[in-house]
Amino acid sequence: MQKSLWILFALGSSLLAVDTSKVGLKNYRVFYESLEKLTEQYPKVWWDRQWVNAYRIKDIRSVIVPVRIPLQKPEEGKYFVVPIKGAVNSGFGFRMGWQFHFGVDIDLRIGDTVVAAMDGEVRLAGYDPGGYGYFCVIAHPNGLETVYGHFSRLLVSAEQIVKAGDPIGLGGSTGKSTGPHLHFEVRFMGEPIDISAIIDFQNGELLENELHITHETFAHLSALTAAVYHTVRRGESLYLIARKYRISVRRLCALNGLSTRSILRPGQRLRVK
């Protein structure tokens, strides 16, 4: 007798519950098409082959409702696996003051095998020279998407069905990268979220069985919209810029990962608030 797995989605302004036994957990296309019938606000999101953020919602906080997303099947145990075990060398949040990092960077060696974190379908796969390098986006039936970047080689293509633990790429340093690592993101309705509290990448362990999505999940958006930046002009110093924005030089340096002896370059972008 087939067991039923209920999966919750927050789409539009309402909470949707879908019984996957009725659509077939393995038949992802039928599953996603059933979602299209349930909402008219984002009808083509699941099959967009152009944008990493297929939703492109101006402010997700205006449409989100609290939802708990399962990271395991009750009858089978955990089905989330870390894409690769390793030390996290850069986490979610601001880097160097002005640059916001929307995922985590995990150490690896060139050629190391990276696997899919959960069952799903590859929605997008290709090469992004100025950012992800060789990358892919996988859509999962629990409403999440995962993004993997900087591969030396892709092992999957768009529309391919994958299971948790299936190889999807080889470690590399392509795109905007300063060394071999995996850039990994978890997204909900197109918006990256911080998953550092529920995943131990070093030991390959899932620390929580579900992900609780609330308005607080997207608190980082407030910091992003509130941030103010300044482009350095010729002849400007840390002191002059700090005085212009009525902050201390120490605060300006802290916001941008600089020392008081740092040399500024014309065109350099600094966060000032």
The CATH number covering residue 127 comes to: 2.70.70.10
pLDDT of residue 226: 64
Other CB atoms within 10 A of residue 71 CB: 22
Mean pLDDT of 203-218: 85
Give the predicted TM-score (pTM) of the model. Answer: 0.70
Mean pLDDT of 41-62: 71
Confidence of residue 46 (pLDDT cuts 50, 70, 90): low
104 and 177 in a common domain: yes
Rounded CA separation 43/55 (Å): 10
186 and 96 in a common domain: yes
Other CB atoms within 10 A of residue 212 CB: 12
Mean pLDDT of 80-93: 86
pLDDT of residue 62: 77
Q: For the segment 172-205, what is each residue's pLDDT rounded down to a tens digit? A: 999 988 899 999 999 988 889 988 888 889 888 8
pLDDT of residue 34: 44
**Nearest alpha-carbon partner for 93 in 192, 206, 229, 177:** 192
Angle at 149 between CA 147 and CA 153, to 5 degrees: 120
Question: How remote is the C-alpha of 64 from its chain's centroid?
Answer: 17
**Does residue 185 form part of some domain?**
yes
Q: For the segment 70-81, what is each residue's pLDDT rounded down to a tens digit? A: 786 545 555 788
Is 17 in contact with 65 (CB distance < 8 Å)? no
122 and 197 in a common domain: yes
Q: Report the length, in residues, of the chain.
A: 273
Q: Is the predicted pLDDT of residue 1 greater than 60, yes or no? A: no
Cβ-Cβ contacts under 8 Å for 33 (sequence gap 6 or more): none
DSSP H helical segments within the chain, as ranges? 20-23, 28-38, 220-226, 238-244, 249-256
DSSP H helical segments within 158-200, as ranges? none
Domain span including residue 98: 88-205
- How many domains does the chain contain in total? 3
**Does residue 219 form part of some domain?**
no
Mean pLDDT of 245-262: 82
